[in-house]
Amino acid sequence: MRRYSAFAIAREAARHHQGWERAWRSPEPKKKYDIIIVGAGGHGLATAYYLGKNHGLTNIAVLEKGWLGGGNTGRNTTIIRSNYLQDPSAAIYEKARSLYETLSQDLNYNIMFSPRGVMMLAQTQHEIRGYQRTAYANALQGVATEFIGPQRVKELCPIIEIGGPRYPVLGALWQPRGGTARHDAVAWGYARACSDMGIDIIQQCEVTAIRSQGDKVQGVTTTKGSIDCDKLGIVVAGNSGVLADMAGFRLPLESVARQALVSEPIKPCMDVVVMANTVHGYMSQSDKGEMVIGGGTDGHNNYTQRGSFHHIEETVRALIETFPMISRLKMLRQWGGIVDVTGDRSPILSKTPLEGCFINGGWGTGGFKAIPGSGWAMAELMAKGASPLAAAFGLERFREGRFIDESVAAGVAH
């Protein structure tokens, strides 16, 4: 792989950029791989990358029915934070956040991780207590957060209305090392690095069946033919239930449309990410200048990738109360993605009833921030059969009642 750098750009500029090579190969599938990962989103690609990097396994295919990074990886609001309450969540999200800090250098691909800081507003006494608790928990978990007062909130984000008539801002949980990254670049960077290690990323290749012998996985049938494998990782977010069905087991997951929207680009006016859970809305400003806004989740299960407009209305109302200046901005685009949500709103990283078959899903509305940590843990789980980061997220927790419920800390927006 030819490395990216300012020098490479200068060299190519001299010849009109005719010499750039492909970022990732486009191979035909082999008959057999050691490991097949289904799903070339961020989580699937990261899993393949860390299997190669941490465990030396590269005889791997990543199968993608559409184009890589085309699902929730390319549809989210790009927020990265790890200020979670429960230990297992804080561990995996903080692992992810810390990997994000050096990911551009690891991948030799600028994923534009921007540690601009994330604040979650407290607008009721109850939220103050909840975020104070999270700050105490985070301190013991090794996650740097602090509870800040309204004046500090205003200093960090001058466009906030802290004296709003309905829900004045009473403080915030502040994670200065949280932030955002360029979501597509995360998928592309991992894909390029995987391809460079010899991992085959096969796009336009839909898995139509999972084959097994006895209780053990044997391979998959795809639109590009039959492919064998020793181990299979299902990393398909909203389609987890569909793949699990092919593998012969059921998952405690529901799939719903979740929406987001952006405004037209304006000059920089907001340097931090703000989440306001009492009124249900969150916002940041992209490097391009758009205000990136998270919307609501449909109340009914569906696969539309559209969502109902009244959620957009509710979100925009909430944000106009929080940031009155956005009233005269215009919504440029709204879209939806399909999120797979578990009963405790925490992910599944697990072995399955089918031997050799593993699943990584259920990230719900908060998967982007977890990508590197999720891939790291999933790779370890698949390579070694166990991973401390993944241990608490096994499927058995639903049977045992060992839930990892973040609703108290995360409010609604995850």
Partner 1 sequence: MSTRLATGGRFLDRNQPRVFTFNGTDLSGFAGDTLASALLANGRSMVGRSFKYHRPRGIVASGAEEPNALVNLGQGAAFEPNQRATTTEIFAGLKAESQNHWPSLEFDIGALNNLVSRFLPAGFYYKTFIHPRAAWKHVFEPIIRHSAGLGRAPKERDADRYEHFYHFTDVLVIGGGVAGLQAARAAAADGGRVLLIEQSAQWGGRAPVDGGQIDGKDPEVWINDALEELEKAPNVTIRRRTMGSGVYDHGYVLGYERIADHTPGDTRPRHRLWRIRAARVITATGAIERPLSFAGNDIPGVMLASAMRDYVVNYAVSPGDRTVVVTNNDDAYRTAIALKNAGLDVPVILDARPQAEGDLPRAARDLGIRIETGRAIARVKGRKSVTGVAICAQAGEGAVLEEIACDAVAMSGGWSPVVHLWSHCGGKLIWDEAGAFFRPDPDRAPISHDGQPFVATAGAASGQMTLAETLKDADSAGKVASRALGLAAGRKGAPKASQPQEGPITPVWMMPQGAGPALRQKMWLDYQNDVKVSDVQLAAREGYESVEHTKRYTTLGMATDQGKLSNINGLAVLSGALQNDIPAVGTTTFRPPYTPISMGAIAGEARGDIFQPIRRTPIHDWHDDNGAEWEPVGQWRRPYTYRRAGESTHDAVMREVKNTRQHLGLLDASTLGKIIVKGPDAGRFLDMIYTNMMSTLKPGRCRYGLMCSENGFLIDDGVVARIDDDTFLCHTTTGGAERIHGHMEEWLQTEWWDWKVYTANITEQLAQIAVVGPNARKILEALGGMDVSADALPFMAWADGQIGGFDARIYRISFSGELSYEVAVPASQGRALWDRLIETGQEFGVMPYGTEALHIMRAEKGFIMIGDETDGTVIPQDLGLNWAISKKKDDYLGKRAQARSHMTDPDRWKLVGLETTDGSVLPDGAYARGSGTNENGQKTVIGRVTSTYYSPTLDKGIAMGLVLNGPDRMGEVINFPALDGSATPARIVSPVFYDPEGEKQNV
| Nearer to partner 1 among residue 91 and residue 232 (C-beta) | 91
Q: How far apart are CA 135 and CA 129, in angstroms?
A: 10
The string of DSSP letters for 73-106 reads GGTS--EE----SSHHHHHHHHHHHHHHHTHHHH
Q: Out of 215, 250, 301, 408, which residue is the one contacting partner 1 (CB under 8 A)?
A: 408
Q: Establish if 300 lies at the interface with partner 1 (CB under 8 A).
A: no
Q: Establish if 163 lies at the interface with partner 1 (CB under 8 A).
A: no
- State the virtual CA torsion across 184, 185, 190, 191 in degrees, nearest 10: 70
Quick check: 114 and 273 in contact, CB under 8 A? no
Q: Establish if 136 lies at the interface with partner 1 (CB under 8 A).
A: yes
Which of 36-44, 213-221, 359-367, 395-403 is the region at the interface with partner 1 (rule: CB under 8 A)? 395-403
Q: Write each residue from 202 to 231 as x if it is in contact with partner 1 (CB under 8 A), else as -, in one continuous string.
A: -x----------------------------
Q: Out of 188, 282, 358, 376, which residue is the one contacting partner 1 (CB under 8 A)?
A: 188
Q: Out of 197, 242, 331, 383, which residue is the one contacting partner 1 (CB under 8 A)?
A: 331
Give the binding-site size for partner 1 (rule: CB under 8 A): 118
Q: Write each residue from 303 to 322 as x if it is in contact with partner 1 (CB under 8 A), else as -, in one continuous string.
A: -x-x-xx--xx--xxxxxx-
Angle at 186 between CA 184 and CA 190, to 5 degrees: 120
Q: Out of 184, 228, 230, 254, which residue is the one contacting partner 1 (CB under 8 A)?
A: 184
Question: If we measure between CA atoms, which residue out of 256, 258, 277 comes closest to residue 413?
Answer: 277
Quick check: 257 and 304 in contact, CB under 8 A? yes
DSSP letter assigned to residue 72: G
Q: How far apart are CA 341 and CA 388, in angstroms?
A: 22
Q: Establish if 129 lies at the interface with partner 1 (CB under 8 A).
A: yes
Q: Write each residue from 87 to 126 as x if it is in contact with partner 1 (CB under 8 A), else as -, in one continuous string.
A: xx-xx---------xx-xx--xxxxxxxxx------xxxx
Question: If we measure between CA atoms, which residue out of 40, 2, 47, 45 comes closest to residue 21?
Answer: 2
Q: Establish if 335 lies at the interface with partner 1 (CB under 8 A).
A: yes
